[in-house]
Amino acid sequence: MLKNLMNKKSLIIIGLSVIFLSACSNTAYKNEDNIDLNKKMTNNTNTPTQKPATTSAQVTTAPKTNNDTQTDAYVGIKTKDGEIVLKLYKKEAPNTVNTFVKKADSGFYNGLIFHRVIAGFMAQGGDPTGTGMGGGDQKSELNNIPFQRGSIGLARTPASKEISNDSQFFICFTTEQCQQLTGDYVNFGEVVSGLDVLDKIVQGDKIISITSRTK
């Protein structure tokens, strides 16, 4: 009888072990599925991305200027078809705006091109190399201002939304295609004049100049 009892205990222990191992295997399988799913979800080419550079640039923070107490700044982007005037959100993205205005005032953008233009989506420019790989890094000042027709944002690599390019920007052609970017890209301004000029931009068009005008 003792022998039969020991055999029964052994069978129970073996049975529990099989169940435990089965549960562990199922958990690992589910975790792998989640990892694969996340990779697939980030594989979206319809975004204003910066091509990964071969070297990592230092993250920069723009110094504060005498205009930091003002809530808005305005810039004019001159193209072959006219001027696009943008209001920049100094309150929501102060360092982004300061960097952009500082580069504009220095003549950095003059003569650069819109190197990536996708009809119905956005026009992207501001890369000193014209390849999509230029520019430095800056900390992303993310906000929940909705991206819509005329919004201006910063390009970035797909690696992290916490770091954005410090010179490459994009301007949205439509709300429908750009609203998905809200919260994932830095929105730092909007077109207040010249939407008709924006619509005429094609890939390769030059940025004749960007000039700042504060309010």
Predicted confidence (pLDDT) per residue in 143-192, tens digit: 999 999 999 999 999 999 999 999 999 999 999 999 999 999 999 999 99
Predicted pLDDT at 195? 98
Mean pLDDT of 107-134: 98
Q: Is the pLDDT confidence value at 62 over 60? A: no
C-beta neighbour count of 47 within 10 angstroms: 17
Length of the chain: 215
For residues 67 and 78, what is the distance between their CA atoms, to the nearest angstrom? Answer: 23
Between these two residues, 8 and 115, which has the higher pLDDT value? 115
For residues 190 and 147, what is the distance between their CA atoms, to the nearest angstrom? Answer: 9
Selection from 136, 122, 115 nearest residue 181 by Cα: 122
Pairing of strands 169-172, 122-125: antiparallel
Q: Which CATH architecture has domain 59-214?
A: Beta Barrel (2.40)
Helix (H) or strand (E) holding 196: helix 195-198
Predicted pLDDT at 56? 37
For residues 61 and 109, what is the distance between their CA atoms, to the nearest angstrom? Answer: 19
Predicted pLDDT at 77? 98
Percentage of the chain surpassing pLDDT 70?
68
Between these two residues, 119 and 26, which has the higher pLDDT value? 119
Predicted pLDDT at 180? 97
For residues 98 and 104, what is the distance between their CA atoms, to the nearest angstrom? Answer: 10
Helix, strand or coil, per DSSP, at residue 37: helix
